[in-house]
């Protein structure tokens, strides 16, 4: 915790702290501005409504609360939710029913990897009532099981890369000369002897190293196989993003505001800002919570809770939930964290 964050934490007195938590909990539950009389009636803070109004004004001056209209109550700001997430919120243990539902999702081990990713996004959207996003494993980091070559037409070859877990990528390259299907199958068998069990990144390194060696030691067939393999593995493979639950997310009261609705739909359609945060999550190695415009001005009215999944110590992709700043962070963080760990266990086994 930085000194600035610690000072911010200490700046709130005990009564201010209790009042802010009451406002946050009530606003998350109702999506309505919270008034002083309501707080006094619902929560045992031991102070009168006039004192609560005075304390609310103090919290507003410190940018923890905001009054949308003169006659309205207050609503928590992104700074208030950040305070809650970082210093107050207990680490939630998700319920048994949630755990059973998540574990059941990953109990079938024979499905295609892309199907598992789609099912993960559906599961998170269903359980949180928000939009869910899943960044697929970076293909470069997944172990290959084999590569197949298919002749399409003269001097054009389609490569089918098959990864551990069932992931498949295809790409078409100019082979430089015309090969028969028999020749292509022999090349694939030769490459598979060395590439099986390597990631695409490792395969690229191995082929580049082999091509740098004294070319005289290779016959024409070997040189052709390596050259074709190099053309295949050198092409970058963009990560895919699955999005589910956007219709459910639109039912949140915040998105009755056309501006906020456009922001959500734009983020889910363009995905650029979401991808940036999901990529950062890969490097962080823990659950990341982005509230409002903290990481991107395009997401000023949205929050994202994301976590990386992987195999062992190697991160492969990330998953997350996108919703309004008024989010039930305690529940969402618990579900995102447990889902990422369950998916990692499945991939590791």
What is the per-residue pLDDT for 297? Answer: 81
Give the pLDDT score at 298: 77
Q: Which parts of the chain register pLDDT below 50?
A: 1-10
CB 301 within 8 A of CB 260: yes
Domain 142-233 sits in which CATH superfamily? Enolase-like, N-terminal domain (3.30.390.10)
Domain boundaries, the chain: 3-88, 96-138+239-348, 142-233
- pLDDT for 218 equals 63
Structural contact between residues 168 and 207, judged by C-beta atoms closer than 8 angstroms: no
Residue 306: the pLDDT is 93
Q: What angle do CA 129, 67, 299 make, to 5 degrees?
A: 45
Report which of 245, 286, 293 is spatially closest to residue 131, judged by C-alpha positions.
245
The torsion region of residue 64 among left (phi > 0), alpha (psi -120 to 50) and beta comes to: alpha
pLDDT digits (tens, 9 = 90+) for 13-70: 888 999 999 999 999 999 899 998 888 888 888 888 899 899 999 999 999 999 888 7
CATH: 3.50.50.60, 1.10.10.200, 1.10.10.10, 3.90.180.10. Which one for 3-88?
A: 1.10.10.10
pLDDT at 279: 79
Residue 26 has a pLDDT of: 93
C-alpha to C-alpha distance for 260 and 40, rounded to whole angstroms: 31
pLDDT at 25: 92
Which CATH superfamily is 96-138+239-348 part of? GAF domain (3.30.450.40)
Q: Nearest 5 degrees, angle CA 343-CA 85-CA 250?
A: 70
C-alpha–C-alpha distance, residues 61 and 8, integer Å: 14
Burial pattern 103-135, b for ≥16 Cβ within 10 A else e, equals: eebbeeeeeebbebbbbbbbbbbebbbbbbbbb
**Residue partners of 57: CB distance under 8 A and separation at least 6:** none
155 token code pair: 């001097």
Backbone torsions φ then ψ of 286, nearest 5 degrees: -150, 175
Note the pLDDT of residue 3.
37
């Amino acid at each position: 915790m930085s000194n600035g964050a610690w000072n911010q934490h200490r700046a709130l007195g005990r009564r201010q702290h209790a009042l802010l938590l009451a406002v946050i909990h009530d606003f998350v539950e109702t999506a309505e501005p919270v008034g002083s009389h309501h707080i006094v009636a619902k929560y045992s803070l031991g102070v009168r409504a006039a004192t609560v109004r005075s304390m609310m004004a103090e919290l507003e001056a410190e940018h923890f609360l905001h009054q949308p209209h003169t006659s309205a109550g207050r609503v928590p700001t992104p700074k208030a939710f950040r305070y809650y997430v970082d210093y107050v919120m207990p680490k939630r243990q998700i319920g048994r029913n949630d755990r059973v539902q998540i574990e059941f999702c990953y109990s079938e081990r024979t499905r295609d990897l892309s199907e598992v990713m789609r099912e993960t996004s559906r599961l998170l959207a269903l359980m949180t009532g928000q939009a869910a996003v899943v960044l697929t494993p970076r293909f470069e980091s997944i172990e290959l099981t084999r590569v197949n070559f298919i002749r399409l037409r003269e001097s054009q070859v389609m490569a089918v890369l098959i990864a551990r877990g069932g992931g498949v990528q295809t790409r078409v390259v100019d082979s430089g000369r015309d090969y028969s299907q028999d020749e292509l199958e022999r090349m694939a068998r030769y490459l598979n002897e060395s590439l099986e069990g390597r990631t695409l990144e490792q395969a690229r390194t191995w082929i580049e190293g082999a091509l740098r060696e004294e070319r005289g030691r290779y016959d024409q067939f070997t040189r052709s196989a390596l050259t074709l393999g190099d053309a295949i593995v050198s092409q970058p493979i963009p990560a895919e993003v699955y999005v589910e639950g956007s219709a459910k997310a639109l039912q949140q009261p915040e998105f009755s505001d056309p501006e906020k609705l456009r922001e959500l739909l734009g983020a889910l359609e363009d995905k650029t800002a979401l991808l940036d945060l999901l990529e950062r999550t890969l490097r962080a190695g823990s659950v990341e919570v982005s509230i409002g415009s903290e990481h991107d001005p395009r997401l000023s009215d949205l929050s994202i809770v994301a976590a990386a999944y992987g195999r062992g110590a190697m991160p492969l992709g990330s998953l997350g939930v996108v919703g309004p700043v008024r989010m039930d962070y305690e529940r969402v963080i618990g579900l995102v964290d447990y889902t990422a760990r369950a998916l990692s266990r499945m991939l590791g086994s």
